[in-house]
Amino acid sequence: MRAAVAHTAGSALRGRTTLTARALHRLAVGIVTSAYGADPREVTLRWDDADGGLHATVTLPLRVENAAGRTLQEQGASVRTSLVTGMAERAGRRVDAVDLRFAGIHREDERRVR
């Protein structure tokens, strides 16, 4: 009985939840950096409207040390899948297409300890 009362009371709440374009942008950058292991400052992301869905254009540097025997195609597919599923799960947004571009190379510089 209490569960029904709590459910009824919760459904009577009024208001809305709004996600700004900046929030969606930062969420998407976070998903990409988590999936790829890049620094958020290295990721460029642009959203376009795709007939009710979203079309993302993502540019990031190729990370040589994170390849772990995976091809560029496999790395790209992993990032694209993570972005599509992550935006659907976390923001309820449909991402219809992701264009991924590798621009430049990111290398970890070895530092010498004195």
As a residue count, the chain comes to 114
Confidence bin at 26 (pLDDT 50/70/90): very high
Domain residues for 59? 19-106
Whether 1 has a pLDDT exceeding 70, the answer reads: no
**71-109: pLDDT as tens digits:** 888 889 999 999 999 999 999 999 999 999 999 887 666
In a domain, 113, yes or no: no
SS3 content of the chain, % helix, strand, coil (to 5): 45, 25, 30
Give the count of domains, the chain.
1
Q: Give per-residue pLDDT as tens, 49-77.
A: 888 889 999 999 987 765 567 788 888 99
C-alpha dihedral over 34, 35, 38, 39, to 10 degrees? -20
Question: Taking the model in full, what pTM does it have?
Answer: 0.76
For residue 5, pLDDT beyond 50: no
Q: Is residue 81 within 8 Å of 95, Cβ to Cβ?
A: no
Confidence of residue 41 (pLDDT cuts 50, 70, 90): very high
Rg of the chain, C-alpha, whole Å: 19
Q: Look up the CATH number of the domain holding residue 39.
A: 3.30.300.20
Closest residue by Cα to residue 37 from 78, 73, 71: 78
